[in-house]
Amino acid sequence: MGLLFGFLIFTGFSSFVIYVIRHLLSKHWSWANRLEEEDARGRTVIITGSSRGIGKEAAIEFADRHARVIVTARTLEAAKQTVVDIRRKTFFGEVIPMKLDLGCIQSVKEFYHEIIKSYDTIDILINNAGVLVPSNEIERTADGFETHFGVNHLGHFLLTNLLLPLLKNAENSRIVIVSSGTYQKSKLNFDDLNWEKTKPPPANTNALPHDESEFPLYKISKLANVLFAKELTKRLEGTGVHVYTLCPGNVLTGISRRIKLPLHYYFVYAPLLLLVMKTARQGCQTILYCALSKKCAYESGLMYRNCDLWTSDKYYFPDDILMPIPDKPVKLNDADASRLWDESEKCLQMKFPVV
């Protein structure tokens, strides 16, 4: 009983100290950057994975700026519940729930067919949804793709290509791709993109998501996001559709919920994580920046962090405590970007013509 009481006092006190430090210091931290534009009236926005985390907060922010927001989730019930939650936060904008499971080709196609029934133009597409499953498990989507590759990359590849005519119909439309800085610690294996021959490394239960050797499948899918953006930018040149890639930073969401960590990690790391990780609301700010800011309106094919262009010489405090740039980050090249496009088409058995 005494031990429990002591623990509660300790937890309460440390939470209070962390709250005070965050409150006092965070306005000087790199994530204090915010979007100036307050209005998104007249814009139609699709956000993938808006049932929780960064996507849900982004949906609230867009609605609050009077946008028409199509919130998507794996089930229609989850999407409707998201609308209810959003309406508790803001009465502005139009919020439309729709089912979209990126792990299922049929679902992506059905979503597209529903969209074209009601809309001629889409102004902003946010490819946000993402999964992270333990490294030692090869999990597959309904269509047999390795889950990270299938959901984080292929589902978005298909969705984006299907929606391109609607994005082209809008004036100065934007595609925002939520990747992760961890892509720099990965390498695509073109001989086995779908992990049919290669065995993933055994899970290190003592690792956290930012550890270099961990979660290779997730990191590879985030590299695929960046390469997809690179090729897409090239193909969309001169069309008025702009492409933005971003890393939201270290954000306290449920993304790692399936990773089991030893109990002591929660005690050792929790205070540090609570101190230096962004809230989902802070984490979605770069999405809003890429989607709405006038500052980057004429840019395309670049990577962003903290509402700013991300260049390799920038050090972000406190983000980079948890996400240090590796000594030898992966090199992005045109040949890999183009090959990934071709391989993705082969996987889907569909061809998306050069624009």
Strands (E), 273-339: 302-305, 308-309
**Cα–Cα nearest to 240, from 171, 160, 301:** 171
Give the HSE-up count for residue 58: Cα atoms under 13 Å, Cβ half-sphere.
34
**Cα–Cα nearest to 152, from 174, 124, 183, 173:** 183
Taking residue 339's Cβ as centre, other Cβ atoms within 10 Å add up to: 16
* Closer residue to ligand NAP (CB): 130 or 216: 130
Least distance between ligand NAP and beta carbon 144 (Å): 14
Q: Which of 119, 218, 289, 304 is catalytic?
A: 218
Is residue 244 among the annotated active site residues? Answer: no
* Closer residue to ligand NAP (CB): 69 or 170: 69
Q: How many helices (H) and strands (E) does the chain have?
A: 12, 8
* Closer residue to ligand NAP (CB): 167 or 247: 247
Least distance between ligand NAP and beta carbon 231 (Å): 19
**Cα–Cα nearest to 56, from 92, 84, 24, 17:** 84
* Closer residue to ligand NAP (CB): 147 or 170: 147
**Cα–Cα nearest to 129, from 110, 154, 162:** 154
Least distance between ligand NAP and beta carbon 63 (Å): 16
Q: Is the torsion defined by CA of 33, 36, 41, 42 positive or negative?
A: negative
What is the distance between the alpha carbons of residues 79 and 269, in angstroms, rounded to a whole number?
Answer: 33
Q: Residue numbers of the site for ligand NAP (CB under 6 A)? A: 48-49, 51-55, 73-74, 78, 100-103, 128-131, 151, 178, 180, 247-248, 250-251, 253-255
68-73, strands of its sheet edge to edge: 94-99, 68-73, 44-47, 124-127, 174-178, 242-246, 302-305, 308-309
Least distance between ligand NAP and beta carbon 293 (Å): 19
Beta bridge partners of residue 72, listed in sequence order:
98
What is the distance between the alpha carbons of residues 246 and 117, in angstroms, rounded to a whole number?
Answer: 31
* Closer residue to ligand NAP (CB): 127 or 170: 127
* Closer residue to ligand NAP (CB): 51 or 245: 51
Least distance between ligand NAP and beta carbon 246 (Å): 9
Q: Are 205 and 188 in contact (CB under 8 A)?
A: no
For residue 31, the one-letter residue type is W
* Closer residue to ligand NAP (CB): 10 or 269: 269
**Cα–Cα nearest to 287, from 126, 48, 164, 109:** 126
The DSSP letter of residue 183 is G
Contacts of 330 (CB under 8 A, 6+ apart): 183, 184, 185, 186, 187, 223
What is the distance between the alpha carbons of residues 164 and 185, in angstroms, rounded to a whole number?
Answer: 30
For residue 158, the one-letter residue type is L
Least distance between ligand NAP and beta carbon 108 (Å): 9
Least distance between ligand NAP and beta carbon 28 (Å): 21
Q: Residue with CB nearest ligand NAP?
A: 53
The residues that are catalytic are 218
